[in-house]
Structure 1
Amino acid sequence: MNFLYILNFFCYCMLMIQYYFLNLAMIYNVCWTNFQSICKQWKLKININKTKIMIFSKGRIPRNLLFNIDGNEIEIVSSYKYLGIVFSRSGSFLSTRKYLRDQAIKAMYAVIKKSRLNNLSIECQLDMFDKAIVPILTYGCEIWGFENLDILERVHLRFCKHILRLKKSTPNFMVYGELGRCPISVTVKSRMINFWCRLQEGKESKISCLLYKLLYVNFNNYGYDSKWILYIKKIFDDCGMSNIWQSHNLFEKRWVVLSVQQRLRDQFIQEWSTEMNTSPKGLCYRLYKNVFKFEHYLSVLPFNLLITLCKFRCGNNRLPIETGRWRNIPRSERLCHLCGSADIGDENHYIMSCNYFKDERCKYLPHYCIKNINVIKFKQVCSTQNIVELEKLCRFIKSISVKVYPPG
């Protein structure tokens, strides 16, 4: 049956040859004759309804081009879904990514519904996303992962912002930072490298190995620009591991995969830190967030309190520092209107120094934070691991929110 599979694959590949290079009619006749003999030998019946012709070309297809099997005309299509992957005549996998995105969104809202019914924790919801939705988003990514992945990452960020009850406009670096999560692209690149390693160790008779060797020879010797091979090489170059690409089989494959995965994660954390330290919205956030990890308060506080704290930390509030940004007011003019101190109305001011909340501050904050206030104490208050102090901080934040911007 392996021989049958190879012949069928050969016939399929021959039918995909671009029509302006070779005489398709002649190739089709040869392939069809061979295919008929194989079907007769193995007593196989062709399903005409599922048989399609797709010609890979970015140009137009002649209207008078016809294909027939036993007098039945075979439809020429511009795209075809095979085993969950949508192939397009242009060679782009955009349709595949859109299809996987749509399927993942359906699964995502099913997970959200079950999470609400069962009052699942943030950690549990993220675990369900990784096990139920990420496999959908990354299905077959070893092949199409070299293309733009933004359409998939938006699903990831939508889910993260939804479970934290954050606005869509919340900066992505805050979402990644609070949850300690890396983008989907890290997973995709790691899986591509893993697939590349398997191609190196696979049986030489496998079609995937044969095709890779053909691509690699053409890429190395004849200047053929394979997007997939170029992307694999780029991953190694970006990770500072170009020697692995050049030597191919001289390294242990498991070590290669783990090393690439770790370096991709480290690179993202560096990019995250750079964006946080250069973003205007990160001025307060970077005072209490300097370690890329899942925040402790998300796993110990009741849901209503952790949402209050998360929104406050991520700028989802109506303090003057935020409302002034919506109205394009210069930062220096976004002042507190409660205490008359001419200080900027940001998170640090209301938590640590606004005289209007002097009594609440004594009630909710530890005594060591009230005297000789400074940035270090503000960081201690916002990043404390003590559950009692966290709960009191959340109640203080609720009091601030009501009085700074009363409801209605």
Structure 2
Amino acid sequence: MSWMSDTMGIESRLTSPVNMIHMEHIVVSSCTYLGVVFSGSLSGRKAAESAISRAAIASLQTLNILAKGKADSWNTVCKLFYITIATTLLYSAHLWGLRHHQMLEKAQENFFKRLFLLPRCTPGYALRLELGLTPVKYKIFQQAWRWILKILDMTGHRYPRIAFFRLHKLSLGENCDPKYNWAAQFYQILKETGHEDLWENLNSQTWKDREYRLFKNYAKKLRKEDIAKWTASTFCQCRHTYGPKLEPAKYIKARCPINWLRMSINLRLANNFKLRLKHESNVYTFDPNIQCMSCNNRNYENVQHVLVECPTYTPFRNKFLFTATADENAKEKTVSECLDLHTKGDLKNLYYYMSNVLAVLYLCDDYQDP
């Protein structure tokens, strides 16, 4: 609400209470209704920020539960995540989150980065591929789809149906700004699925018949986009092959101590800047841009050197990793084999190998963070 100043001739915001219909109304910049924050612009950004804040609190509580319970099952982690964090983060997100899915995606990523002690700079696509995560964008679109199905089944006098059809009509105009039109925001994502023809056919049964195929293909499309980003990226030191099926890497499903998984995933997703591994309350830093201080070969301290090249760790390597070859091509293949983890035994061997490596490095203060 606003008024025109008599002296300045400019529009100003009301800052004092207003009497309307024999009641005093207070003018505020935002309000909360049923747990959702609404602002004057109705852009949904404040609602997204509020949801992210609540999800951060839920994340800390969930991590505390997992730590105290010594959870060793990926299914347990996923169930707790969806019950506590995802439900908090995506509460009514189909109403305000279509434009802010990238912000919400960060909240999902932050939980798993904290869980596995991954650096903040780890790309989201790499994390989703490794853990088999569904993008938040997909979940919000699915919620919005189901809300539209409910609207299409409503009788013509219902306000949600009247409002939706008005927004739908406006979304077809050339001058429509998706920023202020919820239906236009939904249509932008609908076009990504390749089923934009549904926007011209608002028949409930037609939408229901197309639902399964649409979401199945859209999930595959998002997975392929992540794989394409991974293939084109040079962020990580090691290269892995990911299939089109939405599932985590095989080792993630193994029931084992969380420290084994943390060691493995940090090595697999190690970046080209610094690799930090935590072991027994100590943090060790490997810099792939400097020479290894454990040997005199003047090789850079990258994952390949630590796992298959450094002669200092040969006794541990022969005991746990069984590396045998020496030519360059074989080394690259051996690195892939060392990180191609499937079973609990693979995780155990890699963890104990690195534990011995870090025990040696404990004697060198340069490898420990202050």
The TM-score by the shorter chain falls in which range?
0.7 to 0.9
Post-superposition CA distance 1:26-68 (Å, at most 9, x none): xxxxxxxxxxxxxxxxxxxxxxxxxxxxxxxxx6335688324
1:220 counterpart = 2:220: no
1:124 counterpart = 2:45: no
Q: Decide whether aligned partners of structure 1 residues 129 and 387 sit closer, same or farther in structure 2, where only a CA change above 3 A counts.
A: closer
1:190 counterpart = 2:142: yes
Structure 2 equivalent of residue 247 of structure 1: 201
- Counterparts of 1:227 and 1:246, CA distance in 2: 17
User: What TM-score, normalized by structure 1, do the two folds share?
Assistant: 0.73
Structure 2 equivalent of residue 306 of structure 1: 261
Q: Please state which structure has a larger fraction of its residues in helix.
A: 1
1:277 counterpart = 2:277: no
Q: Decide whether aligned partners of structure 1 residues 233 and 69 sit closer, same or farther in structure 2, where only a CA change above 3 A counts.
A: closer
1:338 counterpart = 2:289: no
Larger radius of gyration: 1
From 237, 244, 252, the equivalent of 2:191 is: 237
- Counterparts of 1:63 and 1:128, CA distance in 2: 44
Post-superposition CA distance 1:104-131 (Å, at most 9, x none): 2222222222222222234312221112
Asked if 1 retains the 8 angstrom alpha-carbon contact of 2:320 and 2:349, the reply is yes
- Counterparts of 2:275 and 2:173, CA distance in 1: 59
Asked if 1 retains the 8 angstrom alpha-carbon contact of 2:17 and 2:26, the reply is no
Asked if 1 retains the 8 angstrom alpha-carbon contact of 2:99 and 2:185, the reply is no
Structure 1 counterpart SS, 2:18: coil
- Counterparts of 2:286 and 2:331, CA distance in 1: 25
Asked if 1 retains the 8 angstrom alpha-carbon contact of 2:149 and 2:204, the reply is no
Asked if 2 retains the 8 angstrom alpha-carbon contact of 1:244 and 1:250, the reply is no
Post-superposition CA distance 1:138-165 (Å, at most 9, x none): 1112211222233322321221011112
1:388 counterpart = 2:342: no
| Structure showing greater relative contact order (alpha-carbon pairs closer than 8 Å, 6 or more residues apart) | 2
From 119, 142, 149, the equivalent of 1:167 is: 119
Displacement of 1:193 in angstroms is 2.0
Post-superposition CA distance 1:313-363 (Å, at most 9, x none): 2227359xx7546xxx5xxxx433434334433222322233222222211
Structure 2 counterpart SS, 1:90: coil
1:60 counterpart = 2:12: yes
Structure 2 equivalent of residue 348 of structure 1: 304
Q: Decide whether aligned partners of structure 1 residues 78 and 386 sit closer, same or farther in structure 2, where only a CA change above 3 A counts.
A: closer
Displacement of 1:209 in angstroms is 0.5
Q: Residues 363-382 of structure 1 correspond to what in structure 2 (within 5 A)?
A: 363-366=319-322, 369-371=323-325, 373-382=330-339
- Counterparts of 1:339 and 1:63, CA distance in 2: 70
- Counterparts of 1:85 and 1:318, CA distance in 2: 39
1:210 counterpart = 2:162: yes
User: What TM-score, normalized by structure 2, do the two folds share?
Assistant: 0.80
Letter in 2 for 1:349: H
1:108 counterpart = 2:65: no
- Counterparts of 1:198 and 1:361, CA distance in 2: 60
- Counterparts of 1:154 and 1:195, CA distance in 2: 24
- Counterparts of 2:51 and 2:276, CA distance in 1: 37
Asked if 1 retains the 8 angstrom alpha-carbon contact of 2:56 and 2:107, the reply is yes
Structure 2 counterpart SS, 1:80: strand
Structure 2 equivalent of residue 6 of structure 1: none
- Counterparts of 1:399 and 1:211, CA distance in 2: 65
- Counterparts of 2:14 and 2:260, CA distance in 1: 65
Letter in 1 for 2:61: A
| CA RMSD after TM alignment | 2.9
Structure 1 equivalent of residue 281 of structure 2: none
Q: Decide whether aligned partners of structure 1 residues 116 and 64 sit closer, same or farther in structure 2, where only a CA change above 3 A counts.
A: closer
Structure 1 counterpart SS, 2:235: helix
1:317 counterpart = 2:269: no
Letter in 2 for 1:95: K
